[in-house]
Structure 1
Amino acid sequence: MLYRFDDLVLDTARRELRRGEALVAVEPQVFDLLALLVRARDRVVGRDEMLAAVWQGRIVSEATLSSRVNAARTAIGDSGAAQRLIRTLPRKGFRFVGAVAEVAQPPPEAADAPAAGRGPPALAVLPFANLGGDPAQDYFAEGMAEEILVALSRVGGLTVIARNSSFAYRDGAADLRRTGQELGVGYLLDGSVRRDGQRLRIAGRLVDAGSGAQLWADRFEGDAGEVFALQDRVAAHVVAAIEPALQAAEIGRARPGRLDAYDLLLRARALEAAFTAEGMAAALDCLGQALALEPDNAQAMAAAAYCHAQRHVQGWAPEDAAGRAEAVRLARAAAGCAPDDAQVLWMAAFALWNMAPEAGERARALFARSLLLNPNSAMALTLAGWIETMCGNGEAGRGMVARALRLNPRDPRGWLMTGTMAIAAVIEGDHAGAVAWAERALAQNPRFAAALRVLAVALVKAGQPERAARAVQDLLRIEPGLTVSGFFARIPVPLEAMARTYAEALRAAGLPE
Structure 2
Amino acid sequence: MATARVARRLAAILAADVVGYSRLVRADEEATLAALGDLRNGIIDPVITGHDGRIFKLMGDGLLAVFPSVVEAVRAAVEIQQALAERCAPGTATAPIRFRVGVNLGDVVVDGDDLQGDGVNVASRLEGIAEPGGICISDSVHEQIRDRSGLVFADLGDRMLKNFDRPVRAWRWARDGAAAPAAAATAAAAPLPQSERPSIAVLPFTNMSGDPDQDYFADGMVDEIITGLARLRWLTVIARNSSFAYKGKSSDIRLVGRELAVRYVVEGSVRKSGNNVRISAQLIEAESGGHLWADRFSGALDDVFDLQDRITAGVVAAIEPSVRQAEIERAKRKRPDNLDAYDLYLRGLEQSYIFTPASRDAGLSLLEQAIALDPGYAEAHGVAAFCLQQRYLWGGRAPADRLAALEHAEAVAAARTDDSTALALAALAFSALGQRHESALVMVERALERNPSSAIAHNVGALVNMILGRPDTSAEHARLSLRLSPFDPLRHIPESALAAAHLASGEHDAALACARRALEANPVFSPGLTTLALCLVRLGRAEEARATVRRLLEIAPDTRLATLQERYLFANGLGVERVVADLRLAGLPD
TM-score category of the 2 structures, normalised to the smaller one: 0.7 to 0.9
Counterpart contact for 1:335–1:344, Cα < 8 Å: no
Counterpart contact for 1:457–1:501, Cα < 8 Å: no
Shift of 1:497: 5.7
2:493 paired with 1:416 = yes
Mean alpha-carbon deviation: is it higher for 336-345 or for 301-310?
A: 336-345
Q: Which residue of 2 aligns with 1:366?
A: 443
> Aligned partners of 1:151 and 1:175: how far apart in 2?
25
> Aligned partners of 1:381 and 1:343: how far apart in 2?
10
Question: Which of 288, 301, 304 matches 2:381?
Answer: 301
Shift of 1:269: 1.6
Q: How many residues align?
A: 397
Report 1 or 2 for greater relative contact order, CA contacts < 8 Å, sequence distance ≥ 6: 1
> Aligned partners of 2:520 and 2:254: how far apart in 1?
39
**1:263-274 map, 5 Å:** 263-274=343-354
The letter for the 1-side match of 2:404 is: E
Identity among equivalent positions (%) equals: 41
Q: Which residue of 1 aligns with 2:323?
A: 246
Counterpart contact for 2:354–2:522, Cα < 8 Å: no
Alpha carbons of structure 1 residues 463 and 325: separation in structure 2 relative to 1, 3 Å? same
Question: Which of 194, 197, 201 matches 1:124?
Answer: 201
Question: Which of 412, 420, 423 matches 1:334?
Answer: 412
2:539 paired with 1:459 = no
**1:389-400 map, 5 Å:** 389-400=466-477
Residue-by-residue CA offset, 1:417-461 (whole Å, 9 max, x unaligned):
211101111222222221111011112211111111111112112
Counterpart contact for 1:302–1:348, Cα < 8 Å: yes
> Aligned partners of 1:141 and 1:225: how far apart in 2?
16
2:249 paired with 1:172 = yes
The letter for the 2-side match of 1:419 is: S
Residue-by-residue CA offset, 1:458-508 (whole Å, 9 max, x unaligned):
211221111111110111111112111133344456738611111111111
Alpha carbons of structure 1 residues 185 and 173: separation in structure 2 relative to 1, 3 Å? farther
Q: Which residue of 2 aligns with 1:221?
A: 298
> Aligned partners of 1:496 and 1:376: how far apart in 2?
25
2:387 paired with 1:310 = no
Counterpart contact for 2:463–2:570, Cα < 8 Å: no
Residue-by-residue CA offset, 1:141-198 (whole Å, 9 max, x unaligned):
0000111111111123111111121122112351111111111211111110011222
> Aligned partners of 1:338 and 1:288: how far apart in 2?
20
Q: Which residue of 1 aligns with 2:359?
A: 279
**1:106-505 map, 5 Å:** 119-254=196-331, 255-257=334-336, 258-313=338-393, 315-316=394-395, 318-357=396-435, 359-491=436-568, 495=572, 498-505=575-582
Alpha carbons of structure 1 residues 390 and 354: separation in structure 2 relative to 1, 3 Å? closer
Greater Cα radius of gyration, structure 1 or 2: 2
- Partner secondary structure for residue 217 of structure 1: strand
Alpha carbons of structure 1 residues 306 and 172: separation in structure 2 relative to 1, 3 Å? farther
- Partner secondary structure for residue 495 of structure 1: helix
The letter for the 1-side match of 2:335 is: P
The letter for the 2-side match of 1:152 is: L
> Aligned partners of 2:277 and 2:339: how far apart in 1?
48
> Aligned partners of 1:443 and 1:137: how far apart in 2?
44
Shift of 1:137: 0.7
> Aligned partners of 2:432 and 2:302: how far apart in 1?
46
- Partner secondary structure for residue 171 of structure 1: coil
> Aligned partners of 1:411 and 1:293: how far apart in 2?
29
Shift of 1:411: 2.6
TM-score by length of 2: 0.65
The letter for the 1-side match of 2:409 is: A
> Aligned partners of 2:570 and 2:521: how far apart in 1?
25
> Aligned partners of 2:489 and 2:428: how far apart in 1?
19
The letter for the 2-side match of 1:375 is: P
Residue-by-residue CA offset, 1:110-136 (whole Å, 9 max, x unaligned):
xx99xx986321111111110111011
CA RMSD of aligned residues (A): 2.0
> Aligned partners of 1:341 and 1:409: how far apart in 2?
21
TM-score by length of 1: 0.74
> Aligned partners of 1:283 and 1:323: how far apart in 2?
14
Counterpart contact for 1:205–1:217, Cα < 8 Å: yes
The letter for the 2-side match of 1:256 is: R
Counterpart contact for 2:497–2:570, Cα < 8 Å: no
Q: Which residue of 1 aligns with 2:86?
A: none
Residue-by-residue CA offset, 1:318-359 (whole Å, 9 max, x unaligned):
3222221111011111122143221210111112222212x1
Shift of 1:386: 2.4
The letter for the 1-side match of 2:238 is: I
> Aligned partners of 1:411 and 1:263: how far apart in 2?
20
Gap regions ≥5 residues in structure 2: 1-175, 178-192
Mean alpha-carbon deviation: is it higher for 277-286 or for 264-273?
A: 264-273
Alpha carbons of structure 1 residues 419 and 494: separation in structure 2 relative to 1, 3 Å? closer
